[in-house]
Amino acid sequence: MKTLVSLVQVFVAGAICLVMGFVEILCLPIDRHRGRLFHALARFWARTVLAICRVRVRVKGVENLERGRSYVYVSNHASMFDIPAILASVPDQIRIVYKKELEVVPFFGWGLKWGHYIGIDRGRGSKAMQSLEEAIGKIRNGQSLLLYAEGTRTLDGKLQPFKRGAFNIAVRAGVPVVPLTVNGSFRIMPKGSIIIHPGNVEIVLGKPILIDSLSGREAERQLMEQVHAAIEANYIDQSSEIQTPCP
């Protein structure tokens, strides 16, 4: 019975993704430049999906953010529920950097492609560089970015090594980096599973790390180490949570 309920939740959440993608496409002509309506619709989608799947989100560290300032949020990645949890709870105009493979999904992927998020083509060097330049341009125009430094979702609930790409963007853009820790989402829906385990997600926003005048690979390496240490300090190892019975 629990599996059947979960499959219904997945189906309904997927249907909402398609519908919201279609609505976002319709709104693009009147939201071409700023993207605020697009973000508002994304937050509505996120809160709706979380409510349907009975996932509750608690956020800590909002006081560390300065209203109206652009940031690069660098997060760990444990579950498909990380994105709706972050969009629903972080009070900022966040633009997501996503894999271009998602653009083939009808309506939802099309909304990503033609909307205000940034697709990264990881298999083509010149295309990837073009995407990075687009990301940096959005930051300089007053928007914030969300990047997953691990590159993909964890398979075992442990924090993975970070990749350099997120920190290359941050150093080149020259804006503060906010270490963002997601706890609890791995248990809700780990990679490779379609079963949803309702529960709680905790978002921890660390203190912004200033870039100052740093540049080059050494600056990126130092920043990567700082952010990894900050996320690790707040991270709850979730490797055993997949075996935890659903309440």
What are the pLDDT digits (tens) for 31-66? 666 778 888 888 999 999 999 999 999 999 999 999
Mean pLDDT of the region 197-206: 95
What are the pLDDT digits (tens) for 78-90? 998 999 999 999 9
Please give the Cα distance from 115 to 32 (Å, whole number): 8
What are the pLDDT digits (tens) for 143-172? 899 999 888 888 888 999 998 878 888 888
DSSP structure string for the chain: -HHHHHHHHHHHHHHHHHHHHHHHHHHGGGSSSS-HHHHHHHHHHHHHHHHHTTEEEEEE-GGGSPTT---EEEE----TTHHHHHHHH--S-EEEEEEGGGGGSTTHHHHHHHTTSEEE-TT-HHHHHHHHHHHHHHHHTT-EEEEETTSS--SSSSPPPPPSHHHHHHHHHT--EEEEEEESHHHHS-TT------EEEEEEE-PPBP-TT--HHHHHHHHHHHHHHHHHHH----TTGGGSPP-
